[in-house]
Amino acid sequence: MGRRRAPELYRAPFPLYALQVDPSAGLLIAAGGGGAAKTGIKNGVHFLQLEQINGRLSASLLHSHDTETRATMNLALAGNILAAGQDAHCQLLRFRIHQQKGQNKTGKAGSKEQGPRQRKGAAPAEKSGAETYQEEVEFSVENLQAVQTDFSPDPLQKVVCFNHDGTLLATGGTDGYVRVWKVPTLEKVLEFKAHEGEIEDLALGPDGKLVTVGWDLKASVWQKDQLVTQLHWQENGPTFSNTPYRYQACRFGQVPDQPAGLRLFTVQIPHKRLRQPPPCYLTAWDGSTFLPLRTKSCGHEVISCLSVSESGTFLGLGTVTGSVAIYIAFSLQRLYYVKEAHGIVVTDVAFLPEKGRGPELLGSQETALFSVAVDSRCQLHLLPSRRSVPIWLLLLLCVGLIVMTILLLQRAFPAFL
């Protein structure tokens, strides 16, 4: 059998580093670029319209926002506001989408002027006399505030995250400081040293607690600037005395069917690259006590990114060798895996949310995971519903029941059959 492949959803004209999904409008937002180097590679944020066409999920470019000389390396989304990490700065963007009826006169059909993009599947044109009316999409992106968020000698913002109601955002970077900002003014409200060295990832919980992981091999839980506790994933897990591990990623997630339940998920990878690499690990933590609940190996490929589905049911992983996997969050069991789907480091993964247009776009699939990489491609990873019974099995059961019924009738009424 050939290698399993994931369908390519979109290819950008630049390397892709960050990904977000807007469920209300059914938008997939992918960002990246070639940076300030004069290589001819552009920098931008692309807004893609997700649609179901002939039973398949597809994406088409709706709007391209040019970020000039700055490549976007990380993204966070709250409503219609994007926080984009660009070099040492955080840039806020507000996007708006409007549907309106445009008017095209038949006498100007040959005009080269192009209006807003017409959505696929839009209502058919209404003809009235010599004029034609069609549904159009008007999309706009506005640059809001921008602020420098990292001040190391080689400054770089590595992660950005909104709080639960979108009124605050937290940033972390190579100088090891966490900075918290008001939205949309980007007025700084908090600043503290969280790690010696780079901050690799951070996550804001609904109760205001902040989890940070860094290159100093530590994972810390904060209430504002006060250290609450540090995480120790090897307390109930494997111990490697000669192999130092560091935390690569952290994400909060809901507990399915428990509205008040909260879990924290982390990924641990070897701190140094080895010729024979030891395994990487996934850990699930209690979101209140921050005690480890379960730790499992997730293979020898080094994990590059982590995502949690909106309901907290699934975990998505990308690796530095381009592979993509989906796990059950409760048991940390792997359900889906495509080896070297991208062939190069996976920079971000994101699930299709279960709210808004999510169920409509998902169709009969149980979940959908998007992945982007330095190869400029966005791929789609679908997990078929595990609850459905195949049609061939239903037919086989029906035939079996009919045969059994005939046999029973023959035994009960031999004279009549």
- Dihedral (C-alpha) 200, 334, 302, 48: value to the nearest 10 degrees? -60
- Percent of the chain scored above 90 by pLDDT? 73
Res. 15: pLDDT tops 90 = yes
pTM, rounded to two decimals: 0.84
Q: How confident is the model at residue 102 (pLDDT cuts 50, 70, 90)?
A: low
Amino acid at 76: A
Mean pLDDT of the chain: 87
Give the residue from 377, 266, 290 showing the smallest Cα distance to 19: 377
CA distance readout (Å), 157 to 47, 242, 374: 22, 31, 18
Report the range of poorest mean pLDDT among 266-270, 274-278, 287-291, 322-326. 274-278
- Work out whether the CA dihedral 181, 182, 183, 185 comes out positive or negative: negative
